[in-house]
Amino acid sequence: MLYRVQGIVIRSMDYGEGNKILSIYTEPAGKVGVMVRGAKKTNSRYAAVAQLLTHGDFVFFKSGKGQLGTLNQAELIDSHQKLREDLILAGYGAYLAELYEKLMPEEESSPMMFEQLKAGLEAIESGKDGGVVAHAIEMKMLGLSGYMPQLEQCVSCGVNLADSGSFSVALSVQQGGVLCPRCRHTDPRAIMITGATHKLLRLFQKLDLRRLGTTEIKPATKAELKQCMRAFMDTFFDIRWKSRSYLDQMEKYLT
């Protein structure tokens, strides 16, 4: 069957002498694998579209579900060149791609998640906070996997905590959400977070990256957000994130 789809390359792997195998996240068909013959050759017409994070129109033949496709034609929409020119931006872009490659199921359509990836890459490239974009995508992945944290009510007694304001609340990863002061003792390992962090975590659950504005977040709040999201991601997904490790190394190098 011949497919004509818009997609973003979320993995590019060398194969044999001059070929590449791409994992492409597409708007109508979800994540698909495609062989690109001759893509490694310098004069290949597919060299540009076979790069990580490339957004393009792809035409490929696939004999059946679960089979590797073969690229017939491709047209570049956006190379995201600016992402590749900056070490930090490239790291965030690669992390978004890795999230989709590792967590999104094969050949399962989700136009909304395609739009979020597209918007996320564009936001990072335009100078928006890469950490905010990454955390928003992480939260969506938690939700799709059935691990969305309960951030509105105490997971123990059900009291409303949506308007915590300037007060600190406890976030229990093991129990899957926030704890009120009376129930905080039920998880000694719960993470204490400020009202600002609590508000942003709730925002991530509803955030459409196509409407992301400019955000100014204090360093201490960023550190709390990172601690919380990593705790959830590492608890529920047993994955060693290569791009996340790269970002950590760059952060240490630049500070």
CATH of domain 81-254: 1.20.1440.120
- Integer Cα distance of 146 and 148 in angstroms: 6
Domain 1-79 superfamily per CATH: Nucleic acid-binding proteins (2.40.50.140)
Please report which confidence band the pLDDT of residue 66 belongs to, taking 50, 70 and 90 as the band edges: confident
Do the two domains 1-79 and 81-254 of this chain adopt the same fold? no
Please report which confidence band the pLDDT of residue 214 belongs to, taking 50, 70 and 90 as the band edges: confident
- Integer Cα distance of 192 and 181 in angstroms: 11
Please report which confidence band the pLDDT of residue 93 belongs to, taking 50, 70 and 90 as the band edges: very high
Higher pLDDT, 200 or 216: 200
Number of CB atoms found within 10 A of residue 61's CB? 14
Where residue 199 falls (left for φ over 0; alpha for ψ -120 to 50; beta otherwise) is alpha
Q: What is the pTM of this model?
A: 0.94
Q: What is the domain partition of the chain in residue ranges?
A: 1-79, 81-254
Element (H, E) at 172: strand 169-172
Q: Which of 35-39, 73-77, 117-121, 211-215 has the lowest mean pLDDT?
A: 211-215
Quick one: pLDDT at residue 162?
79
Is 70 exceeded by the pLDDT of residue 165? no
Nearest to 148 by CA among 210, 31, 236: 236
- Integer Cα distance of 20 and 37 in angstroms: 7
Question: Tokens 């129990």 — which residue?
Answer: 175
